[in-house]
Amino acid sequence: MKSINRLHIIAGLLLATLSATAATAQQALPTRDEIPAKYRWDLSMIYFGLDEWEADYESAEKRVAGLEQARDRTIDTSKTLLSDLALCNDTRWLIDKLLVYAYQLSDQDTRDQDALALKGRATSLLTRFEAASAWLEPTLQQIPREQFDEWLPQYPLLAEYTHFIDDVLRQKEHTLPPAQEALLAMTGNLAQSPDAIYNSLRNAEMTRETIRDADGQEITLSGARFDKLIRSPDRRVRRDAFLGTMTSYHNFQNTFAATLAAAVQRDNFLAQARGFDHPLQTTLFPDNLPDAVYANLVETVKDNLPLLHRWAELRKQILDVDELHVWDLYCPLITGTDEEIPYDDAVESIIAALEPLGDGYVRVLRAGFERRWIDVYETQGKRAGGYSWGSYDTPPYILINYNGTRRDVSVIAHEMGHSLHSHFTHQNQPKVYGQYSYFIAEIPAILNEILLEEYLLKTATSDRERLRLLNEQIDNLRGTFFRQVMFAEFEYAIHDVALRGKPLTAERMGNLYLDTFQRYWGPQLVRDEEGAPYWARIPHFYMNHYVYRYATSYCAAATLAERILTNEPGVLDRYIKLLKAGSSDYPLDLLRAAGVDMTSPQPIEATMRRFERLIDEFETLRVKLATSSTAPADTLSTR
């Protein structure tokens, strides 16, 4: 039985924001009690208190014991098969419910030692479950296919497992004997240690530098605040924010290198244990994806890097700088005062933007906002970043750190895409198919972002506003597509280094990162050696080749969004079916049914053409505004 995956879907663009107002940024962060309840997620929808959690924990322990006892039983009837499959699925989702509550209780305040203890207990129980159920798939693989063909029609509930059985038999080549699978499953706590240590160091214990903001006020560089300051129109602030953040990571770089090296060694070990040549294959194989999906993506992007180099050159020209540095890559090129967008206004904009997805989708969307799925603002001790995560029997909760920028509005739309995907899957699939593939996971989130972008362009009230939106769209595409493929190349490289027996030191990883970063941005960018430890900021590197999926997902999402907005007959129905499908079929087949073939270079090439069109329109409109006698003096950013 496949293990439970923590669906902490952290978008590459979504590494935190700021608190509610600019004034708050200069003061101590608020406590949770200082945030109105409607802006805090409601975990009571999972458990009213610890007594209920403890009762489910006790029940889950008994179920795990039942699985341990079933290990010695022969599966010789359809009734026994159904009983074992149902016990395994019911147990895995009950433990997942325990995990969601414990982790989110901890994430809302990482200093809470009681919540940390619950996390430890739930994680240990998950490891025990995986060891206790590890015998099931190897045992199923010893049963002749003809026997399943006889058993499956005997019970309607058992017939639901047809695709699951087919998939188990397909994976026989890389499945170990039951005793070895149980031993491998026992490494679960150990395997999660690098991620746990990394998050504790990054979120709770790493010291942060202090800089002065554009008004001269001292501000401590929290993980959330960096994301805002690196986009400041004040170049000095951007530079100080970048160098200050890199100083913090540099001070701990050897520890971060040790945790990431441990994660890489874990990935390499698990791949070799299952007979794979590279850990990337352990990511592709479970979804029945050919290596060509990854290779096609990387090679197509390499061929189109001159487009990104063009954007770098344009940035240097508009910013009017003698040298283009890394701290110049993220700020808006169109200046002006951005009004803070109140959270409630952001919610209404998202609802309006997603109306093309139909009444049924919007109805669930509204309910999610009203029923407090979202933990909105940054508070003391709260985990940085953003994610959507829920279990089969819980709401699909969202953690964000909202600061009132347009980018933060995009964060909400993105994470709501994940949450509604989970909702529709859990409402329409049995437990065995209640978890969708990571290969598909980012598509609904990115599609929501694209629909929001198109809505904002459509409702723009001036050429200047449209120009700013084009700037944002270009940078969003760069971040969600080019940046993630760059990360994927770096991640592949460090795994390859370790497979060749070379140590993954901070220096080696820093050089690898800078080399890859420089190749992507091209000759216009100055190589800033201070940026060498930037790799330590990226939690995705602990997820074994997850990041490439952001890029493939962007291509699929852009294709589907364009068809939905042009009212292509049948496309909306096909898309909603994709959201409801869970893991009831292989992801490539589900996407083909929705109208997108990711084995073809066409979606990637179409994304490259979209990037080029956006740059073309941006340049044309920029020239128009620059030569207009009515153009505001602050239309284009300067030093």
Give long-range contacts, CB 8 A cutoff, 24+ apart: 624-629.
Answer: 624/463, 625/463, 625/464, 625/467
Q: At what angle do helices 602-626 and 463-477 cross, to 10 degrees?
A: 150
The one catalytic residue in 130, 378, 415, 453 is: 415
Question: What's the distance, Cα to Cα, between the start and end of the chain in Å?
Answer: 57
Q: CA-CA distance, 541 to 484, in Å (whole number)? A: 11
Which among 149, 144, 155, 1 is positioned nearest to 79, based on CA atoms? 155
Q: Give the C-alpha separation, 435 to 582, whole Å.
A: 6
Shortest CA distance to 425 belongs to which of 581, 593, 618?
A: 581
d(CA 66, CA 50): 24
Question: Residue 509: phi, psi to the nearest 5?
Answer: -65, -35
User: CA–CA separation, 149 vs 75, rounded Å?
Assistant: 15
Residue in the block written with tokens 């800078």: 514
| Distance separating alpha carbons of residues 531 and 528, to the nearest angstrom | 6
Q: Which residues pair with 220 in a beta bridge?
A: 210
DSSP output for 190-256? HHHHHHHHHHHIIIII----EEE-TTS-EEE--HHHHHHHTT-S-HHHHHHHHHHHHHHHHHTHHHH
415 is catalytic: yes
Whole-number Å distance between alpha carbons of 467 and 619: 9
Asked if 510 and 532 touch (Cβ cutoff 8 Å), the reply is yes
Rg (CA), the chain: 25
User: What is the rounded CA–CA span in Å between residue 243 and residue 223?
Assistant: 13
Q: Which helix (H) or strand (E) holds 514?
A: helix 506-521
Beta-carbon count within 10 A of 566 CB:
8
DSSP 26: T
Hey, what are 317's tokens? Answer: 């020209």
Query: Pairing relation of β-strands 374-375 and 397-399?
Result: parallel
Rounded distance, CA 541 to CA 490, Å? Answer: 9
- Measure the CA–CA gap between 376 and 399, rounded to whole angstroms: 7
Nearest to 475 by CA among 226, 308, 273: 308
Give the 3-state secondary structure of residue 324.
Answer: strand
Residues acting as catalytic residues: 415
